[in-house]
Structure formats: C-alpha cells, structure tokens
Homo-oligomer: A and B are copies of this chain.
C-alpha cells in the first residue's frame, strides 16, 4: 500500500499549485515589499494559532494583539508584507518576547495540522530542521527575520518558488481592486507573470446583519450609480460589481452565510422584503430570508454571467462577544453549527439546479452532511460540486473522512480538487502537499483493496491535485 502511495505521490508532488480559493492579501503581490518578521508573518494573522493559545490561557495582550481601542498597529501589519516606510526598520524587542511565548507553547499543537504546516514551512522554506521550542525560539526568530529581508523571500519570488499557477484572493463587493489593478499593470508591463485574481464576496451588501450593512448599500449605490433604494436597482448594482470583478479577472463568487438557506420569493415579495431590509430594521428572520433570497438571485446571476458560485455556510461567527468587542473578527472564536442542505438548497435548485452552465461549489463545517446530503446532492444535480474539507476539517483525518464519506456516492468527478483557503501565504505549499499525500494514500488504499486499478489511480491523483480545480473554476 505504501509503495503504491509513494508511486502516486511521485506523479503529483511537483505539479503546479492551483489555488482558486483563498484569503491572501493582494497588496503583497502588488507591492512586493518584504514580509516583516516571524511574529507578524506567522503568529498574528493565524486564527488557528491564536485560538489554541487562548484556549490554554495565553492572553491576546501577552501575544501583542492590539485591542480595537489601543490602536491598529498590529492589525495594519497582520500577516503582511512590511510597509514601504518601515522596510529595514529594526524589530521591536517585544516581538522576540512574543515569539518566545509562542515557542514555549508550541507543544500544544501536537497532533494538529497547524503544527505540520508550520514545521514544513520552517524546514522547506527557511531550511530550519530543529523543532521549535523555548530552547530554539531565538534562533528561529533570528533566522526567519534575516531571511525575510532577502530578495528571494519577497512575495513575488516566493510565488514563483512555490510553483503557483494561479492564486485567487477574496474581496468585498465594495473593494476598489487597486492591488489587482497594479498586479495587472505589472503583468502587462512584463514586470511579473504571476496570476493573481480576485473573487467576488458580496456578504457586506447581501447580509442585513453584516456590520455597517446600510452604509455599505449606500456606498454600493454611489460606486455603481444604480438606484439602490429599489430592489431592481439593488440587483443591478450587484450585477454591475460582478462585471467589474469579472473584468478584473474574477471567475468566482463566494458567500459566507450562517446557513445555506435559500428562497425563491415572488418578485413583489422580494421587493417588499428589500424595502424592510434597506432600512436596517430587519428582524433576524427577515435577515435570514433576505440572505436566502439573495443566494437564489446570485445563482441566477451566475447562470447569466458564468461566474462559479461558492457557498461557505454553517459558522456561528464571533461566538465570544467579549473577544469580538475587544479584538474584532477572525480571532478564532467562530464555532460551527449543524447544517441542513437537503431542504435549504431546494428553492435555489428548483429554480436553477438543472442549468447546464452553472457551477455551485458547496462547503461545510458539518461533516454529517457529507454522506447524508452533500454527496447525494452533488451526485444528482448537474450544477453542484463538492468543495474540499474546509477550515477545521482541512486536516489529515478530515480529508480522509471527506474522501471516505463522499466518494462512494458522488464519485471523484463531482469534486473540485483542493482549496488551501488560507491567508497564510507561506503555508500554501505545505497545505497542498498534505492534501496530495492524503489523496494518494486514499487512492492507494482503493488499489490495494481491489476497488481501483493503479493506472486509474494515477490519473485520478493528477485530477485531484490539479485538473479538477482547473476545470471546476474554469481557469
């Protein structure tokens, strides 16, 4: 079995990386400024790390996470390339202290994918073979800090070194896409040939419970010139932004709703609902119904403009209100909930489920839906595809469960390959490596148990690592 897995892996481990869904910062590739240091690059932006440390009593203040009132210093830099005006600036001493604190607690990550991703980054990207611990903390900090100042560790150089064929970022519907424009100019000018595209994520103008929703709609009206006081104008404004994103290279949309609820209201009902929502006074039930109606509207727009639709439902965001109040979003306090797809998606599917040019990629945080709902749905509806294991399930056991629980009903070809879905740029190769290993191990098991021939497994290994993503996202 291991021999088969090794043979399969050898055929895919050097394939280019397709990264059609993720959250890296396009400014990195637009400006190509150096990344800052180990703390700002690896610790601060990684909610997986922050949540585990917090769960074991390490406070955010000791980790240097600035609260909302205390200034945005850290947030401006989070995970990011060093700002131009700070390039070459000395590292503040407390960063080293923070790194030591992290290193002392590195044992907490035993058995987690974070540990495997980081170990691979340290060894393969930085050439550090030791284990991170209190004893080696300073050495790691110094070597990483020094490396990051070298030209070969700048974003564009790493993009090439990582063998990335395509990288998608995710931007709000209101984003001016300036970084992508700058990247496009660099592409045209022949300064850089990296392909970085955006993804249209309209949650801030679609979800009535999103922070600043009514102001966001105002802004949507301003930048599109559409009359957003009316339902049809609002829809036209969203269509207009989709066009702008598409012109900028986007091939997909993304929707992070609390549930996968969809609706298909009569036009007059939808219009009436929009009037309520527009005032900012929607009840929770009205907000849910509006999001549900909008998923169907957005699916219809995808039928019209060909953008691939991604739905990421089922996270209870900001479950810990005191963390949210003090430190804001994405600090590791989002918790999954039970999700129903069979009933929820039906209104949308009844409208567009049989459209031949539509692709909707479904993600879940509720693994119970894999075998029960998602594989049967994707194994029937031509528009549906299964996104890879997401977030908490993007892990060796999680990937294995996904394959074991979806393949027998949906097959392999109703999947879309792997998504790294990360803002941690350095970890992208490590994440794809993990996915390729797990998939090759699964395929090898099928071969060893006479459920697949090895030549078929070899073909599938390439599809899972590369081909399916390319086909599903139409890139």
Contacts and interface: CB of A to CB of B under 8 A. Distances in A.
Interface residues of A, number: 76
A367 B371 contact: yes
Contact of A384 (B55, B353, B404, B410): B55
Interface string A371-408: 11101111111101000000011011110000011011
B395 A408 contact: yes
A242 B316 CA distance: 35
A373 B316 CA distance: 10
A366 B371 CA distance: 8
A453 interface: yes
A343 interface: yes
Given A338-B372, A392-B371, A452 B111 contact: yes
A429 interface: no
A380 B57 CA distance: 10
Nearest to A378: B55
Contact of A320 (B54, B333, B338, B354): B354
A163 interface: no
A387 to B, nearest CB: 15
Given A51-B380, A319-B346, A109 B411 contact: yes
Number of copies: 3
A268 interface: no
B414 A56 contact: yes
Contact of A366 (B109, B316, B372, B404): B372
In this complex, the member of A113, A332, A372, A405 whose beta carbon has the largest number of chain B beta carbons within 10 angstroms is: A372
A135 interface: no
Contact of A316 (B57, B322, B342, B456): B342
Interface in A339-378: 340, 342-343, 346, 349-350, 353-354, 356, 365-368, 371-373, 375-378
A280 interface: no
A412 interface: yes
Nearest to A366: B372
Contacts of A319: 342, 346, 349, 380
A176 interface: no
A343 B335 CA distance: 9
A112 interface: yes
B337 A373 contact: yes
A451 B380 contact: no
A191 to B, nearest CB: 40
Nearest to A356: B57
5 contacts: A54-B382, A57-B356, A320-B353, A320-B380, A397-B404
Given A322-B354, A338-B340, 17 more contacts: A56-B382, A108-B413, A110-B452, A111-B451, A111-B460, A319-B342, A319-B380, A332-B379, A332-B380, A335-B342, A335-B380, A336-B342, A338-B368, A368-B368, A371-B393, A392-B408, A392-B409
Q: Which 5 A-B pairs have the closest CB atoms?
A: A395-B408, A111-B407, A51-B380, A397-B404, A336-B372
